Chains A and B, each alone.
Chain A
Amino acid sequence: MCQKKLVQEAVDTLLDNGIRGQPMRDVRNVGLRKTQMDRPTKTQAHKEGLFLLTHHRLLPSLTEQLQSFNLQTLPFPFAMPLSKQQLLSRLQELQIEFSRYEHPVVLTVEAQAKYVGHLGGGLSKNLFLKDKKNRFYIVSALADTKVDLKVLSQRLGLGKGGLRMAPEEALGEILQVSLGCVTPFALVNESARDVSLLLDQGFKTQTHCFFHPLSNDMSISLNASGLDKFLKSIGRNPSYVDLEANPPVGKDQPPDLAALVPSGSVVLPDQPEKQPSSQVPKDGNLVSVDNSSKTVSGKAVKPAVSEKNAKGAPVKNERLSSSSANVGQFVEEILQKTSELVLLQINEGNIKQHGEQLATVVSDNLRKNLSSDFKNLAMIFKNTAYTEGFHAGTHHQRRGF
């Protein structure tokens, strides 16, 4: 498959439209074309990824995907956070032993101790932290364990003072729990996928420990192995750490907890306002709606709209677009970038300067400025599609052979 050809086709189509004088605003029209153009490419990439060609190879993986589709995999706000009841049911399903204690809402460990402190076992204090690169951590420790954020920060390789308490909004956005309710169980929510969990190794010495089950009007107690079982069930590896240890960190002693720093593509943008893009669902059905409104408004705005701002838009869904070769999104990005550049170039000054040659000038500029950018995008697309084909193929293999 030649991504050069794809790029060429995309640019040519757009240029043809532009030069022939058709308005660019009707993104949806071009959208029809786009499906014709790239369906063969994606299938082709799939073909290259699979090694045994049976014509039903795609069906099993598609059916599976549909079956496993559930609301949880949609991003906030489409994803419903797990409720306390749902969590407790899940614990029961997993046959994890726990005891539950209801009490009035508590916001601190001291308050919680009033109600369950006499029951033995360990109370937990839970900190929700963030580092300078907008990565998040839950540190869950026994109430009397001393937790020094400066030391932890160094042990994680974040330098001194790299860790601080996460802002309240993050609590709701990422953990989807309320104030005073930080708990390892919050990791069950999809929005908390990239949050790293540090558990006090002291938990292992207790017969049972108390945590909030997503709501602070209840505490549940379970032992460390129960907690482990739960964490493993949501695909997490429980990491127990001696939180009070203070090993030296230097050139020859790398930070011992560096492995616990989230490596995923973390999304919180630098800008204070929320990116509207984070609301676009995974399968891209609603993408064109969002984008066509962006493109239309793009026309009304002066070319002074910083390219960076608009460039920010395509970098949507860092978490979600990565998991599938999204044809619609891919083409949408190409169209967006191209139309931005075209709009930038067609202004009074340029019209005066180039007159009839403007079309050729714009066309040449597009080619010059966008060629390598599009090649990169196409390569990302190709690699993702190839990967999907590969995994679909090997999965099929395992069952068929």
Chain B
Amino acid sequence: MAPPPAAAEQIETTTTTAIHEEDDGQVVNPWEVSAKDGGKIDYDKLIDRFGCQRLDHALIQRVEHLTSCPAHVFLRRGVFFAHRDFAEILDAYERGDNFYLYTGRGPSSEALHLGHLIPFMFTKYLQDVFKVPLVIQLTDDEKFLWKNLTVEECQRLARENAKDIIACGFDISKTFIFADFNYVGGAFYKNMVEVAKRVTYNQAVGIFGFTGEDHIGKVSFPPVQAVPSFPSSFPHLFSGKENLRCLIPCAIDQDPYFRMTRDVAPKLGYHKPALIESLFFPALQGETGKMSASDPNSAIYVTDSAKDIKNKVNKHAFSGGQDSIEKHRQLGANLEVDIPVKYLSFFLEDDAELEHIKKEYGAGRMLTGEVKQRLIQVLTELVERHRRARAAVTDEVLGPTALLWAVGHFTRCSPSGAVLHASTLPRVLLVE
């Protein structure tokens, strides 16, 4: 029988060709997420079906040990709960082999809400504690292909989103943010074509659910999101370091792209990218609700004022408390569906305080109003901090990180390698 690695590969391939819609009734793919019968997403089933691993306590402790820093709130609370090959990354790191981070966003709207920030907040933590470089891809071409927007509008949104992303606190001397419309070409494109050649149309249909009605832009997009996992796509950052591994923090609905990538990687002689995946961020109205751009009350936006936040939480956050105070004192709150407690578990740093709240609220001693008040405090501070940072990100700041955006730099940093001495390229610090 084949040795373990190949067997694992086989499993992945089967999952790769599995139909994207499932018999357990839930649909999870990069463009649609919905639970069975309007219920909650079953993450255990998802892990099984996708074939990734649970992020267990041992791994978290290992991270703390290796980085000499307490684990991030999202790790402690199980927000980032699944992974592929994260242990290998830690092994390599221990040996002294570096890795780099890769994450991204599809800039479909200007308004970012807290759910959008989660992968970035976690990635910043990873960048800080492991001290590794980071590439962030803004898939403005994907949005153009999937939505009814002009190219200019997509580019503009990418630019605006980049500012919000930088405001999450990334060190721009160690971060490369790029938009597809500006960067695709050269070595990056070569990798795209290499990947494209190794995925059949049928496989793509199997993974992404394309139909005969979908235009060919959609069908040929997946390699664009795949190749940032390969260091050779960024010759100006990683030349000479073809062996560098890649870790991708993302929400679990992005898994299909990277299953495909992991399938192809060994065929190209590259390391498979590792993944670390998060839950979905619930809408204000509850797990069953949908966060949608047309309903501003379904989420907290980073542009919301303190008043807006207070209003939204008080009026729209779905409460697991009982209908009357007496009943509540008697039965306690239903923590399973209560949104304020869920949000607090994402954003309240203090473990002890969260435990206390859960205990008291669950027992009925604490009222919904108090929990909501605490949540409003936490969220307001978060949004305010973000706004403060965002105000400091001007177009100039986009220059050093998105090397190709400032017009003057285009000829210097063309990825097609058509240029210049290494001395004219801004050096990105990879190791401190």
Q: A318 contacts the other chain (Cβ, under 8 Å)?
A: yes
Q: Is A373 an interface residue (CB 8 A)?
A: yes
Q: Which of A117-125, A288-296, A341-349, A375-383 contacts B (4 or more CB under 8 A)?
A: A375-383
Tell whether, in the assembled complex, residue A380 and residue B399 are in contact, meaning their CB atoms are under 8 Å apart: no
Q: A308 vs B294: C-alpha distance in the bound complex, in angstroms?
A: 30
Q: Does B149 contact A (CB under 8 A)?
A: yes
Contact B152 A265 (CB under 8 A): no
Interface membership of A52, Cβ < 8 A = yes
CA distance A397 to B171 in the complex (A): 24
For the complex, is B255 an interface residue (Cβ under 8 Å from A)?
no
In whole angstroms, what is the CA distance A384 to B305 when docked?
25
**Nearest CB of A to B346, in Å:** 16
Taking a contact as CB atoms closer than 8 A, the residue among A51, A259, A390, A398 that contacts B153 in the complex is: A259
> Which chain A positions have C-beta within 8 A of B147?
252, 254
Contact yes or no, A391 B294, CB < 8 A: no
Q: Are A322 and B391 in contact (CB under 8 A)?
A: yes
A394: B residues at CB distance < 8 A: 399, 406, 408-409, 426
A391 vs B110: C-alpha distance in the bound complex, in angstroms?
A: 27
Stretch at the interface among B180-188, B274-282, B382-390: B382-390
Cβ–Cβ contact B153 & A387, under 8 A? no
Chain A contact surface mostly: helix
Q: A99 an interface residue at 8 Å Cβ cutoff?
A: no
Please state if B391 and A265 are interface contacts (CB–CB under 8 Å): yes
Q: Is A146 an interface residue (CB 8 A)?
A: no
Cβ distance A41 to chain B, nearest Cβ, rounded Å: 13
Report if B307 contacts A (CB, 8 A).
yes
B148 and A383 within 8 A (CB): no
Distance between B302 CB and nearest chain A CB, rounded to angstroms = 12
Known contacts A254-B149, A322-B393; A270 and B423 CB within 8 A of each other: no
Chain B, residue nearest A261 (CB):
B110
Question: Which residues from B are CB-within-8-Å of A52?
Answer: 423
Determine if A259 and B173 form an interchain contact, defined as CB atoms under 8 angstroms apart. no
Q: Does B169 interact with chain A (Cβ within 8 Å)?
A: yes
CA separation between A258 and B171, bound complex, in Å?
30
Contact with B along A132-157 (1 / 0, CB 8 A): 01000000000000000000000000
A36 in the interface (beta carbon within 8 A): no
Report chain B residues within 8 Å CB of A206. Answer: none
Say whether B172 faces chain A, with CB atoms less than 8 Å apart: yes
Nearest CB of B to A60, in Å: 16
The docked-state distance in angstroms from the alpha carbon of A391 to that of B408 is 11
- The reply to whether A133 and B153 contact each other, CB–CB distance below 8 Å, is no
- Residues of A311-342 at the interface with B, using a CB-CB cut-off of 8 Å, are 311, 314-315, 318-319, 321-323
With the chains together, A398 CA to B166 CA distance in Å? 27
Given contacts A253-B148, A379-B171, A391 and B399 within 8 Å (CB-CB): yes
From residue A212, how far is it (CB to closest CB) to chain B in Å?
31
Q: Would A386 and B307 be within 8 Å (CB), given that A52-B423, A251-B294, A323-B394 are in contact? A: no
| Chain B residues, Cβ within 8 Å of A397 | 424
B400 at the interface (CB under 8 A from A): yes
Chain A residues, Cβ within 8 Å of B305: 270
* Interface flags, A352-390, vs B, CB<8A=1, else 0: 000000000000000000000101100110111011101
Cα of A379 to Cα of B168 in the assembled complex, Å: 10
A48 at the interface (CB under 8 A from B): yes
B156 lies within 8 A of chain A by Cβ: yes
A391: B residues at CB distance < 8 A: 396, 399
Given A263-B160, A394-B409: A376 and B391 interface contact (C-beta under 8 Å): no
B residues less than 8 Å from A388 (CB atoms): 396
Q: Does A318 contact B307, Cβ atoms closer than 8 Å? A: no
Contacts of A322 in B (CB 8 A): 391-394
Rounded to whole Å, the gap between the CB of B321 and the closest CB of chain A is 27
User: Which residues of chain A have C-beta atoms less than 8 A from B392's C-beta?
Assistant: 321-322, 380, 383-384
Interface mask (B305-320 → A, CB under 8 Å = 1, otherwise 0): 1110000000000000
Please report the C-alpha to C-alpha distance between residue A171 and residue B409 in the assembled complex, in whole angstroms: 40
Q: How far is the CA of A390 from the CA of B408 in the complex (A)?
A: 12
Q: In the complex, A337 Cα to B173 Cα: how many Å? A: 27
Interface size of A by CB at 8 A reads 42
**Are B306 and A308 closer than 8 Å at their CB atoms?**
yes
Given contacts A318-B391, A321-B392, whether A311 and B384 have CB atoms under 8 Å apart is yes
Whether B424 contacts A401 by the Cβ 8 Å rule is yes
Q: What distance in Å separates the Cβ of A388 from its nearest Cβ neighbour in chain B?
A: 8
Are A254 and B384 closer than 8 Å at their CB atoms? no
Q: How far is the CA of A270 from the CA of B156 in the complex (A)?
A: 27
Q: How far is the CA of A390 from the CA of B396 in the complex (A)?
A: 9
Find chain B residues with CB under 8 A from A319 CB: 391
Given A323-B394, A387-B172, A387-B399, check contact A51 B160 (CB 8 Å).
no
By a CB distance below 8 angstroms, the chain A residues around B426 are 49, 51, 390, 393-394
When the two chains form the complex, which single residue of B172, B389, B409, B423 contacts A51, counting CB atoms closer than 8 Å?
A: B423
Q: What is the distance, in angstroms, from A309's C-beta to the closest C-beta of chain B?
A: 11
Nearest B residue to A134 via CB reads B305
Taking a contact as CB atoms under 8 Å apart, the answer to whether B391 and A384 are in contact is no
Which among B171, B306, B387 is the interface contact of A382 at CB below 8 angstroms?
A: B171
Residue of B172, B307, B390 near A265 (CB, 8 A) is B390
CA distance A134 to B198 in the complex (A): 52
Contact A48 B172 (CB under 8 A): no
Question: Which B residues are in CB contact (< 8 Å) with A373?
Answer: 385
Q: For residue B41, give the distance in angstroms from its CB to the closest CB of chain A.
A: 23
Q: How far is the CB of A170 from chain B (nearest CB, A)?
A: 18
Beta-carbon contacts under 8 Å, A247-301 to B: 251-254, 258-259, 263, 265, 270
Binary CB contact string for chain A from 2 to 13 against chain B (1 if under 8 A, 0 otherwise): 100000000000
Contact indicator A383/B391 (Cβ below 8 Å): no
B152 touches A259 (CB 8 A): yes
A379 surroundings in chain B (CB, below 8 A): 169-171, 389
Chain B's closest residue to A315 (CB) is B388
Which of the listed residues A253, A375, A387 has the most CB atoms from chain B within 10 Å of its own CB? A387
Q: How far is the CB of A317 from chain B (nearest CB, A)?
A: 9
Contact of A49 among B148, B173, B307 (CB under 8 A): B173
Interface membership of B33, Cβ < 8 A: no
| A15 → chain B closest CB, angstroms | 22
Q: Within 8 Å CB of B152, what residues of A?
A: 259
Chain A residues with CB below 8 A from B396, complex form = 323, 387-388, 391
Residue of B nearest to A397 (CB): B424
Question: B334 in the interface, Cβ–Cβ < 8 Å?
Answer: no
CA distance A253 to B148 in the complex (A): 6
| Of A48, A251, A252, A263, the contact of B429 (CB 8 Å cutoff) | A48
With a cutoff of 8 Å between Cβ atoms, the chain B residues found around residue A254 in the complex are 147-149, 153
The closest CB in chain A to the CB of B159 belongs to A263
Contact call A133/B172, Cβ cutoff below 8 A: no
CB-defined contacts of B408 to chain A, threshold 8 Å? 394, 398
Once A322-B392, A387-B396, A398-B408 are accepted as A-B contacts, the answer to whether A133 and B173 lie under 8 Å apart by CB is no
Taken together as a complex, chains A and B put the C-alpha atoms of A384 and B396 apart, in Å, by 9
Known: A52-B423, A322-B391. A252 touches B148 (CB 8 A): yes
- Besides the known contacts A259-B153, A265-B391, 6 further A-B residue pairs in the complex with CB atoms under 8 A apart: A51-B425, A254-B149, A321-B391, A322-B393, A384-B397, A387-B399
A-to-B contact residues, CB < 8 Å: 2, 48-49, 51-52, 133, 251-254, 258-259, 263, 265, 270, 308, 311, 314-315, 318-319, 321-323, 373, 375-376, 379-380, 382-384, 386-388, 390-391, 393-394, 397-398, 401
Ranked 10 nearest A-B pairs via Cβ: A390-B400, A318-B391, A265-B391, A322-B392, A380-B392, A387-B397, A383-B172, A379-B169, A252-B148, A322-B394
17 A-B residue pairs with CB within 8 Å: A51-B423, A133-B303, A252-B147, A254-B147, A263-B160, A308-B380, A315-B387, A322-B394, A323-B396, A373-B385, A376-B389, A380-B169, A380-B392, A383-B173, A383-B392, A384-B392, A401-B424
